[in-house]
Amino acid sequence: MAVRTVPRAAAPPSPPPPRRRRRDGQARAAWLFLLPSFAGFLVFTAGPVVAAGVISLLDWNLFSPPTFAGLDNFWRLGADPTFWSALVNTAWFTLACVPLTIAVSLALALLLNRGLRRMAVFRSLLLLPYATITVAVAFVWIWLYIPTGGLVNAALGLVGIDGPAWLISDTWAMPALILMSVWKGFGFGMVVFLAGLQAIPQQLYEAARVDGASPWQSFRKITIPMLSPSFFFVVVTSIIGSFQVFDQALIMTNGGPGTGTTTLVMYIYRTGFENYDQGYAAAQSLVLFAFIAVITGIQFLLQRRLVHYDN
Amino acid sequence: MTTELTRKLVVFACFLVTAVTLIPVVMMVLVAFQSDAESMAATPSFWPTSWHPENLERAFDLVPLGQYLLNTVIFAGGTTLLETATAALAAYAFARLEFRGRGVLFGIYLATLMIPTQVTLIPQFALVAKLQGIDTWAGMIIPHAFTALGVFLLRQFFLGIPRDYEEAARIDGANRWQAFTRIILPLAVPAIATLAVFKFIGQWNNLLWPLVISNTDATRTIPVGLQAFQDTHGTQWNLLLMAATVTTVPLIVIFFLTQRWFVRGITMSGFGGR
């Protein structure tokens, strides 16, 4: 991420104070301002990141002294079927959840944008799922997914479909989690897209209409390119979020049936805090980080070709 | 372009989508008021045949929901206060003061935004355990009150404030600290409110960290308490969803009161909010 420096306003025409002293004073002041944040950052973010790397090389159960294990924890990962299952589940969850959530967010943003002023109420209400407690609404969704006569299957029954035993089905447990997660998460993208749509200058559409462009052409040539920065932002953040899915899977399926909905974060949690295998859990968390870093990196490379920034 | 008919269609479509979206929230409240027999019947019923407001009291009797609510306010409030204060100070240094290594340090801050919380979870837990911080407020709040996101957001905002205001104050004899507290902070209220609302709602929702750090009701927050409720009273649907309703409603109220900032927080944030 490049940080662009903002051009400074012209200095007022006063005789400059002796340069060196001013610089030193500034640096001292800067470090005083930075101190609380920087101390916390070192102890609770930077330090732990380094420590995670160290712990991943240890065999450690928190209670007895750790022993050095070298890369054993990483070799174990390769031969651990539960880990592979968790990895595949998390990838599948992300591949399904992110495009669906974005499709819903974008469609609703376009819809709300058509109505503009009078849509404030709808926007608030549509944001409601995003502002609920994940654990609390996960309960409701378990209830909605009750196989015989639950609301989801009752609705499917109306159109003649015999609904599955959602959360205990090998096939349908993951789709059930995905559907719930789309419902819970679309509000975020909707707000970002709505802000992006409202930032597009109306003159562009006016000009296109004068030139005889169809609504579809306007959408293709104006809306999509102008919205691409918002789109990029939502894709990146959604993928990072999806890779860390945990709450709803823990509550709704507890990772089951079998390991059918065990996610990476759930497996890290169990390894570290139920089996007290801290070294192994740290190794898993670094693999999770590596996946997120690689995928995010690829997206930033693609961004140069696909995202249109209007300067 | 927009004729009367399409406008009506748009409004109708919005209405329909919103209604479907709200079904789970509405159901949560309806089931919360059903009788035990009705909510635990083999086939669930949707509209309560009789209303049981006493379920509210019963849910509070089963688990200390009031305590959980209070704990959550302490946890979310504490992390929010600490985060906004330290982030505002640091953001001012990054936005306004020149010092050697500023760019590099800010780059390191930004880089940590990509690191998932699970990576730091294990070392943070070990650290808190070593310092006897398990089940204490300090152990729960302090490690989660220093994110780069806050510094990043506020720095962006400070950069947009014209320098002349401070320069004028400095010429009038104010020192740096006075310029910061009297000029910058009042102007930055919207940005700080945005960060605060965003952080508060996010922490109200946080399950993983409190799950690891709090072992007793004294520090248990709502998501952890609800999870424990499910373990012990998993089929008591009316009381389970009553507990869910009671703990979600304050958050929804907070959300509606602070929606403007929350929305701005979403659009401004780089990596926030799950």
Same domain, A220 and A251: yes
CA distance B244 to chain A (A): 5
Nearest CA in chain A to B158: A6
- Distance of CA A180 to CAs A129, A140, A185, B6, B240, Å? 10, 10, 9, 31, 18
Same domain, A35 and A143: no
**A13 part of a folded domain:** no
Residue A22 pLDDT: 61
Interface of B with A in 55-84 (CB under 8 A): none
Residue A23 pLDDT: 63
Note whether A36 contacts B: Cβ–Cβ < 8 A.
yes
Question: Over the stretch B147-167, which tens digit does the pLDDT of each residue have?
Answer: 888 998 899 889 888 999 888
Same domain, A57 and A160: no
**A10 part of a folded domain:** no
Q: Which of A34, A51, A68 is the last residue before a domain boundary? A: A68
**A15 part of a folded domain:** no
CA distance B98 to chain A (A): 6
Question: Over the stretch A15-38, which tens digit does the pLDDT of each residue have?
Answer: 555 555 566 778 899 999 999 999
Same domain, A96 and A227: yes
Sorted by sequence, the CB contacts under 8 Å of residue B273 that are 6+ apart come out as A188, B198, B201, B202, B265, B266
Residue B134 pLDDT: 95
Distance, CA of A32 to CA of A19 (rounded, Å): 20
**A77 part of a folded domain:** yes
**A241 part of a folded domain:** yes
**A6 part of a folded domain:** no
Residue A18 pLDDT: 54
Q: Is the pLDDT of residue B266 over 80?
A: no
Tell which of A1, A8, A14, A34 to mutate to test the B interface (max B CBs under 10 Å): A34
Interface of A with B in 120-159 (CB under 8 A): 122, 124-129, 131-137, 139-141, 143-144, 146, 148-151
- CATH architecture type of domain B66-269: Orthogonal Bundle (1.10)
On chain A, the residues whose CB falls within 8 A of the CB of B106 are: 3
Question: In degrees, to the nearest 5, what angle opens at C-alpha A286 toward C-alphas A281 and A288?
Answer: 95
Same domain, A143 and A286: yes
Average pLDDT, chain A: 89
Same domain, A80 and A47: no
Token pair belonging to B134:
């398990």
Residue of A97 and A5 predicted with greater confidence = A97
Distance, CA of A244 to CA of A90 (rounded, Å): 8
- Distance of CA B136 to CAs A43, B139, B216, B223, Å? 18, 5, 10, 17
pTM of the model: 0.90
Same domain, A33 and A160: no
- Quickly state the pLDDT bin for B137 (edges 50, 70, 90): very high
Contact A26 B99 (CB under 8 A): yes
On chain A, the residues whose CB falls within 8 A of the CB of B244 are: 133, 135-137, 139-140
- Quickly state the pLDDT bin for A310 (edges 50, 70, 90): low
What domain range is A37 assigned to?
A: 24-68
Same domain, A258 and A115: yes
On chain A, the residues whose CB falls within 8 A of the CB of B144 are: 44
Distance, CA of A176 to CA of A142 (rounded, Å): 9
Question: Over the stretch A137-195, which tens digit does the pLDDT of each residue have?
Answer: 999 999 999 998 899 999 999 999 999 999 999 999 999 999 999 999 999 899 889 88
Q: Which of A68, A97, A126 is the last residue before a domain boundary? A: A68
Distance, CA of B197 to CA of B263 (rounded, Å): 10
Rounded percentage of chain B residues whose pLDDT exceeds 90: 64
| Number of structural domains chain A divides into | 2
